[in-house]
Chain A
Amino acid sequence: MQDKLNEIEKTALASLASVSDPAAVEAWRVANLGRSSELMGVFSGLGKLSKEERPVIGQAANRVKVALEAALEEKAAEVKKAALEKSLAEEKLDVTLPGRTTHIGRLHPSTQQLRRVLDILAEMGFQVYTSREVETDEYNFQLLNFPPHHPARDMQDTLFVEAENRGDNPIIMRTHTSPGQIHAMRHFAATNPQDPPPIRIALPGMCFRYEQITVRSEVQFNQVEGLAVGKNITFADLKGTLTDFVRRMFGENTRLRFRASYFPFTEPSAEVDVECFVCGGEGCQVCKNAGWLEILGCGMVHPNVLMNGGYDPKVYSGYAWGMGPERQLMLRNKVGDIRYFWGNDVRFLEQF
């Protein structure tokens, strides 16, 4: 019997050597360790053995069983590993094939830029104030210190709305968001006419000019204005605020310069140039080799405008500035054609 067990073990282990796939492993297990295997036959025949033989043979059979099981385990792991290696070697994707996509949504580039601007302003305490797009001449010009027929009106070619009997106060498409300055000041002043509260607002919105639509000019465009009014606001504060804003907007090392300018509703007025962020001031197509980009107009709110808003210019002062989000994008992303914005060509929109 002992020899038989040795023979079983020897034969089984020998046949295991040629096993190389999971099915053969299972077949070997059934053949050598299964219920009807020879080894199991030895176990089931133990009862027929003598009292003396039984433990001896039982022990020996058990040893063979343990040995075969260990060999099986080892083999199974080996086969599994080989199979895995084989499948890993075979399952090769062309990873350069395009992925499966979906249709994704996007904000219009102007909205995206408006948000960038308004987010920064919000952090600086400037809260959004919006007002209407169709305006009266009074709010768009007169209260902002543009008298009728003033040459400064040449700076803003105006679209007029058909209306009768309006005299010197025709209805027009707002040429800038500045009428909102008057609306806002009057709104806030009304809350406490004796001692109007300070104001810090951002005025975003669509503006309109009588301009032919070309690569460089549009009949409508967005503007964002900032307005601060209080009892202790100076031109130096304006410089400080805009320096902070511009650095947040265009990078912390952005150089900027303030140069004297003219707007009827500010005094003093200034134009702010930033060093060209495309070429770093070395000269390129975007800055027309000038090294600087005109980015916004600003100034101290004109005394007449403060008065028209219900704020006494002897007590209050303020500053305002305005800029164009589409222009900023055109400069920043080298958009070569302003008509792209309202053209809504998906091939443009997808790039933002």
Chain B
Amino acid sequence: MKIPLSWLKDFIDLDGLSVEDVARKLTLAGMEVDEILYVGLSMPEYKDGEKHEFKTNGIGWDKEKLVVAEIRQVNPHPNADKLTLLDLYDGEQDQVVLTGAPNIFHLKGAGKLEKPVKVAYAKEGTTLYDGHAEGQVLMTLKRAKIRGVDSYSMVCSEKELGITDESDGIIILDDDAPVGMPLSDYMGDAVLDISILPNMGRNANVVGIARELAAMLGRELKKPDTKVAVSGQSVKELLEIEITTPEMNPRFVAGLIRNVELKPSPYQIQRRLKLAGIRPISNVVDATNYAMIEYGEPLHAFDYDVLKKRAGDKKIKITTRTAKDGEKLTTLDGNERKLTANNVLVCDEKGSLSLSGVMGGAESEVTDSTKNILLEGAAWNFINIRRTAQQHNLPSEASFRFSRGVHPALAEGGVRLGLKYMAEWAGGAVAPDLVDEYPLPPKDAVVDVTVTDVKRWLGIDLTLDQIAELLSRLEFKSEVLSDKVRVTSPNHRMDIGEGVVGVADVLEEVARSYGYDNIPTTTMADALPPQVGNPVHEWEEHLRDLLVALGLQEVVTYRMTSPERESRVAKHDEYVRLANPITPEKSVLRRSLVASVFDSLEKNIRYAESFSFFEIGPIFEPVKNDLPKEPHKLVIVMTGLREATAWDVKEPPTMDFFDLKGRIELMLGGLRLSDVSYTATESYSYLHPGKAAEVKVSGQVIGAFGELHPLVKEQYELGDSSVLVAEFDLGTLRAMTPTYEIKSIPDTPPIYEDIALIVDESVLAETVEALIRQTGGRSVTDVRLFDLYRDEKIGAGKKSLAYALTYQAEDKTMTDAEAAAIRKKIVKRLEREVGAVLRS
């Protein structure tokens, strides 16, 4: 909400405080000032190294160079039809000023003006915004010749002074503007853009902000004066009100003003409204908006004569009720609205007049020919207003306030203030009395607060008197009893609860009033709970570290995807589907991490020569009309060069199945898992059927990996290299028991020996190694395949496997003869079981 400082000053004395001081007080008390916009008041100049506090914008007006002046005569320009020359007095001397402003054009050639026109005059050398440039561009007025006439100064528009972004003419000031006065003294301002928190609806107005400031500064709040002279027949004789659902409409107040004259509001009023972000319309409409911004009660003006006519000149009866499903109302924006039973309407006996609290109806709205006005100020159920405004997509200043809760007590003062401003700006006579139907006044919250409450919740020591004083600043009624303060919430706020909740609500007010920055910072004295850690989280973090150590880059992808995107890897029928996705691309929750990681890989494929990605995170398995399962998965994807290229290294080979398998072996080793086995598998549709393996630990499947199926790879643009992918279920993997025992380093010397064996292609490497280890027993401490070889000499359908063996005895030095004996046993066993032949 934008609040001009000048408006705030109507209600609180801010002498001795800078704009920043005011903004700081408000910000710390919960009314965050997002930006200060200077519109005339001088801007702070920060020296080098000086700390800033607020985002600032705008322009200050030079006191010497920008003054109030009066135009005494408008003369034609000798060489240009669209320009005029103004005879102007700036309080010190006469000036001739050239302008193209259209809103002064009608006075051209009218001779000496009977009533001089007051304007904002900028002398030579003034810095202001360029009125002709796009956006806000600063410029300095320089002497120039325009169409043969000397020009050195100007009469300003709102855009040039930074009051609005656009303007179509010069500012015409109010008649009482004092000629010669510096413009910044007359109407220099600064606008505070304040965020209104959902529980501070009471402060969405100038008085509300002034009240908070008064409390924080310990100064007095000047309450608005709503007194106005009345005449004519009492409105009570002309109108009655019936409220059918008080919980939706606790109060309805109406007043009447007769014989208004519609015209523009005084300039100062228009200026304040514009700075507050409200477009001036006419004095009558402006009065309702001005009163709302000032006081917080949204008002609605009806054309009284329309209502009177609809009532057939009889006494008007206003009824508020809920709408019937399907009922229609044309709102004043010209749209016909189809209503539902939760919408509340203001009606007369002929039918609906307005969608209450949200928008008026077209028929009874104020028009140029309106003479008599019935002014409504009411209270509505805030939740209902919020739903209605959302339902009809009608956010408005009124619904903004009503949906945050406007206290019903404001209705009366609001109507009086609105009528008073109408009378001031549009003439007319306010009718005596108000019609005030108030079936459901809210109960003011009463809360008892003790010294212990304050100590226990806030950590500060305050006496009952201190508590009472802090709260009374915010207009709470505080009664100090023997052991507590009995607090009654003031009649402008609805955010204080009852009981234990009310205590917390009041404690927040004590804290705000005391100042959050005055509360000490203490070290917790409360007992430290048992420190048990989080084994699941810690295990996953450990796994991440392992994978990073293996050279893998972690990625984190979107949980949302589309079935189409995932179907490139695997099709699923059931998904957790979003009811309101931000885009069809993100309409469901992923069933697999594989597709998400491929998406990342595909986007990156041009930017590097090698990729080793992993992601750890949940997938979402739907459960009908209930919460889905969220198992955590690990996916690894690798493709590209095995090693980094360098200037003297020819292109290294690309990664294949065994690069991935090596990482998996190291990962499982790092997790201290033994009894791991790998079995060829064809049951993963996205994997190459000949280059895929299932991984088991102690016989239990924990995941699978392999080369991406060529048909799946075709679906992506992933380059020429093989793409390797692995997927593990972390729940299953984590459940596997690690075995971890540090072996001592033997003192005895090892014997190293290589053997090469020729076997049939069909014999698995795993089988050969297992036989070697079984036969060698404890004497063979390491078996490592170092060569796989095929050629014609060996024969078709055969392969040579070369192993490096380490023989070692635990307690003595093994002799060559002993090693040879073991080897002989191994070779014999291999001959017997897999038909192996020792190569010599």
Contact = CB atoms under 8 A, between A and B. Distances in A.
A75 interface: no
Contacts of B520: 236, 239-240
Interface in B339-385: 382-383
Given A162-B579, A239-B521, A97 B28 contact: no
B533 A240 contact: no
B558 interface: yes
Nearest to A198: B529
Interface in B419-472: 455-460
Contacts of A197: 529-530
Interface residues of A, number: 104
A346 B611 CA distance: 9
A102 B609 CA distance: 12
A125 B199 contact: no
Given A130-B534, A154-B198, A159 B578 contact: yes
B523 interface: yes
Interface in B521-557: 521-534, 536-538, 541, 544, 547-557
Contacts of A291: 51-54
A253 B580 CA distance: 45
Interface in B498-524: 500-501, 503-505, 507-508, 511-512, 516-517, 519-524
Given A103-B612, A237-B524, A268-B511, A159 B548 contact: no
B718 interface: no
B526 A111 contact: no
B200 interface: yes
**Central interface residue in B28, B46, B49, B529, by most chain A CB within 10 Å:** B529
A270 interface: yes
A267 interface: yes
Interface residues of B, number: 109
B817 interface: no
Interface in A94-151: 97-108, 110-111, 115, 125, 127-130, 132-136, 149-151
Contacts of B560: 219-220
A235 B534 CA distance: 27
B32 A271 contact: yes
B644 A100 contact: yes
A258 B607 contact: no
A344 interface: yes
Contact of A345 (B27, B524, B579, B603): B603
B647 A97 contact: yes
A111 B544 CA distance: 9
A151 B610 contact: no
B416 to A, nearest CB: 28
Contact of B500 (A107, A275, A287, A314): A314
A102 B551 contact: yes
Contacts of B9: none
Nearest to B586: A219
B554 A106 contact: yes
Contacts of A258: 28, 516-517, 519
Nearest to A160: B579
A105 B556 contact: no
**Central interface residue in A101, A149, A287, by most chain B CB within 10 Å:** A149
A260 B505 CA distance: 13
Contact of B527 (A161, A230, A289): A230
Given A235-B511, A257-B28, A345 B607 contact: yes
B386 interface: yes
B258 interface: no
Interface string B94-136: 0000000000000000000000000000000000000000000
Contact of B548 (A107, A135, A313): A107
B231 interface: no
B604 A303 contact: no
A111 B560 CA distance: 19
Given A104-B551, A108-B555, A300-B457, A198 B526 contact: yes
Contacts of B555: 108, 344, 349
B628 interface: yes
B618 A133 contact: yes
Contacts of B456: 232, 234, 317
Interface stretch (B619-627, B744-752, B821-829): B619-627
A216 interface: no
Interface stretch (A61-69, A84-92, A163-171): A163-171
B50 interface: yes
Interface stretch (A13-21, A24-32, A50-58, A204-212): A204-212
Contact of A289 (B52, B382, B541, B620): B52
B52 A290 contact: yes
Contacts of A288: 55
A345 to B, nearest CB: 6
A98 B501 CA distance: 67
Interface in A257-313: 257-262, 267-271, 275, 280-283, 287-292, 300, 302-304, 313
B836 interface: no
A228 interface: yes
B29 interface: yes
A77 interface: no
B646 A136 contact: no
A46 interface: no
B556 A110 contact: yes
A304 to B, nearest CB: 6
Contact of B54 (A104, A219, A290): A290
B197 A130 contact: no
Nearest to B548: A105
A343 interface: yes
Contact of A108 (B503, B524, B554): B554
A105 B643 contact: no
B458 A232 contact: no
B690 to A, nearest CB: 27
Contact of A260 (B28, B48, B403, B580): B28
B742 interface: no
Contacts of A104: 551
B797 interface: no
Contacts of B604: 344-346
A341 interface: yes
Nearest to B47: A282
Nearest to A105: B548
Interface in B581-602: 581-582, 586, 589, 600
Contacts of A200: 528-529
Interface string A229-258: 011111111011101100000000000011
A262 B607 contact: no
Nearest to A232: B526
15 contacts: A97-B647, A106-B554, A107-B544, A162-B576, A173-B578, A198-B527, A198-B528, A213-B582, A219-B586, A234-B459, A236-B460, A260-B508, A271-B32, A317-B456, A345-B603
CB-based closest 8 A-B pairs: A236-B459, A234-B459, A260-B30, A268-B508, A283-B52, A230-B526, A291-B52, A105-B548
Interface of B: 27-30, 32, 46, 48-56, 197-200, 382-383, 386-387, 403-404, 455-460, 500-501, 503-505, 507-508, 511-512, 516-517, 519-534, 536-538, 541, 544, 547-560, 576-582, 586, 589, 600, 603-604, 607-608, 610-613, 617-618, 620, 625-628, 630, 643-644, 646-649
Given A241-B524, A268-B507, A342-B556, 18 more contacts: A102-B551, A102-B644, A105-B554, A127-B534, A130-B536, A133-B618, A133-B630, A150-B198, A155-B198, A161-B579, A237-B522, A237-B524, A240-B522, A257-B28, A267-B501, A267-B504, A267-B507, A289-B55
